[in-house]
Structure formats: structure tokens, C-alpha cells
A = this chain, B = another copy of it.
Amino acid sequence: MKRTGTPRLVDVAEAAGVSLASASRAMSGGSGISPEVAAHVRRVAQELGYEPNLHARGLAGGLVPTIGLLVHEIGDPYFSEIASGVIRSATLENRSVQIAQADRTPESELAQVQALLRQRVGSIIIAGSGYADPEHEQKMTAALAEFALAGGRAAVIGRHYLPIDAVLPDNHRAGVSVGAHLAALGHRRIGVVAGPLELNTVADRIAGLREGIADAEVELTVVSKEFTREGGIAGARELVDGEFRGRDLTAIVGLNDAMAIGILSELRQQGIRVPDDLSVVGFDDIAVAADVAPALTTARIPMFEMGQHAVALILRPASDEARTVSTSHELIVRASTAPPRG
């Protein structure tokens, strides 16, 4: 069954009066062909409505222009906002994006990256914090190096251990802002509900927090849970009702908004008023942070823009050394923080 109507590269070659090889170079390669001929071929292709067959390209050894996007969990607003930015930019550039979930485990992350490589996607964006585990990061680096060797373009969002192009959230300084804010309000006994400590996002934010409170005599109590709303609930319970009950905290920091929202929920459950009895702060400023009860004070991280930056990075040809796009943060003070009572 001939697919009439869909012009192939031979058709444009013929129409342009050049060989298949030249047409191919005009459309993909770019090098090894005179600019005039290339321009002519492209014009003809345009007129004919030529659309390259991606499977043929993939088979012939080339890479497919698809962008592989790896997130931990697309239902998490942090990642869905990044994904939105990636897809928006990709669509503008006529690239399609294939999405995979790593489900918050390093093994799955690696497996998904390899699945993406097998499909010969031309570029890969890995969103989400890296792991402190050197063995895992080294395997990831190796996989991506091989990918780069084959002409693939990779970029990461939010991890700085890998030697490749990266979009860096302002985690450390965001932590500083949050710490300084609480210290300035007068808080001296602060609880932190952290995600897994091997995530560099968690480590960076905690380090920032410590720096932000360094001038005041603040006691920090850190518990580590899942990096989710449920983790926030569990952490809050432990801090106000568990073994740390005696600490008499006046503020709790959730290391992302999902956790902070879980914390708010648990405190409400227990009849603890925010910010009267306890202040609460988050990180990220996901869309709903302004709408929860009370409205959440948080350090805004520009997820959507980070997704767009990542696409811009992989669209640029590779260079010798890894490029980095640093983004900024903004402390958004809302209703969930206030000076401690008394």
C-alpha cells in the first residue's frame, strides 16, 4: 500500500534536481553542502510539505528529534510545571517529547534513561534531584557520556554532580532566605521536615537554611521523610507529637511545598494553629501554595522557566565543557509565618 500524498525525501530531491544524498544533507546534516543548494532544497521541501520519516532516520543511524523527559512523578506539581515548560518550548521548536517516570528511585531512573537511549531519542532532559550515591551518579554519567558520543544532547535540571549541561535551581540561597526570614521573625527552635538526605536538593536547601540562621542562636531539628505530602504529615507528627515533642518548636520548614502542605494538614488535624502556634514555610511555590490554608510562605523556584531553559540548552549544539544556567529564587511571604508567641 503506497502511502501516496506523503512526499519522501527522494521526491523532494527529484523536484529540486539533486541527488538523494544532497537532499539528505540539506535537510539534516548542514555540512558538506553548498549553502545555495541547501537553501533551494529546503524551499522545495517546504513547498511539497515534506515531513521527514523519523523512523527511517532513526534506523539509518541518525537520532530522532524527540526529547526524552524524565521526571520522578508527573502528578507532582513540581514536575508537572517543569514538564509544562519543556513541552511548551519543544512544541515551538517542532519537537515531540516522550515522558517517563523514575518513581523516585535511582534504579528506576537509570532503567528509564536506558530505555530512552534504546529509542534513539536525540535529547534527554532529566528533571529532579540527583543522588549522593557516587556509584549511581557514575553509572548515569557513563550512560550519558556514551549518549553524547553518539551525538545525543542531554541536560539535567536540579543536579550539579553530573558533568553535563544543567539548569540549576537556586536551592542554597533559597534556603538562606527561608532561614533568615524565620530567624528575623524571632524563631529560635525550628523543625525541618526533609526529604531523603541523599538528594542533593535536600542537602542544598538544608545547607542554605543553616547558613541563613547562622547569626542567630537557632536550634535546628531535622527529620527525614518521603519528599511528598505524606512525608510532610509523617514529619510533622514526629516533630510535634513524637520523640521531639519536648523541643517546643516555634516553626517548621517543609523542604518542598508538597511537604509543607502535608505539615499544614497535620497541624490542622491536631488543632495547632498556623501561624499563631507554629509558623510553616515551604519551597517551590507550586501553583496552589497561595490557596492553601493558611496561604503558604515559600521560596519560589521557577519550574516552568527551568523546563524552558533545559530545552534551550539541548537545542544548542554541544560544546566542550558543560554549560550551566543558574536561576534565581524569590521568598514569597504569605500568611503561614509570623513571629513566635510570647
When chains A and B are docked, how far (Å) is the Cα of A137 from the Cα of B333? 46
When chains A and B are docked, how far (Å) is the Cα of A64 from the Cα of B80? 26
Segment at the B interface, from A18-26, A69-77, A163-171: A69-77
Segment at the B interface, from A199-207, A219-227, A283-291: A283-291
Residues of B within 8 A of A99 (CB): 83, 87, 97-99
Which one of A51, A54, A73, A74 has the highest number of Cβ atoms from chain B below 10 Å of its Cβ?
A: A74
CB of A4 to closest CB in B, whole Å: 13
Check B59–A56 contact: CB distance below 8 A.
Answer: yes
Check A98–B96 contact: CB distance below 8 A.
Answer: yes
Residues of B within 8 A of A290 (CB): 265
Residues of B within 8 A of A295 (CB): 293
Residues of B within 8 A of A293 (CB): 291-295
CB of A219 to closest CB in B, whole Å: 29
Q: Mark A86-123, 1 if CB is under 8 A from B, else 0.
A: 01100100001111110000000000000100111000
The answer to whether the Cβ of A313 comes within 8 Å of any Cβ in the partner chain is no
Mark A residues whose CB is within 8 Å of B.
51, 53-59, 64, 66, 73-75, 77, 80-81, 83-84, 87-88, 91, 96-101, 115, 118-120, 229, 261, 264-265, 287-288, 290-295, 304
Question: Could you pull out 17 A-B pairs where Cβ atoms are within 8 angstroms?
Answer: A54-B58, A55-B59, A56-B59, A66-B98, A74-B80, A74-B84, A75-B77, A75-B80, A75-B84, A75-B287, A77-B77, A77-B80, A96-B100, A97-B98, A97-B99, A264-B291, A292-B292
Residues of B within 8 A of A80 (CB): 74-75, 77, 80, 83
When chains A and B are docked, how far (Å) is the Cα of A91 from the Cα of B108? 11
Residues of B within 8 A of A288 (CB): 261, 288, 291-292
List the 4 closest pairs (A to B, CB-CB), nearest first.
Answer: A293-B293, A55-B58, A75-B84, A80-B80
When chains A and B are docked, how far (Å) is the Cα of A229 from the Cα of B291? 11
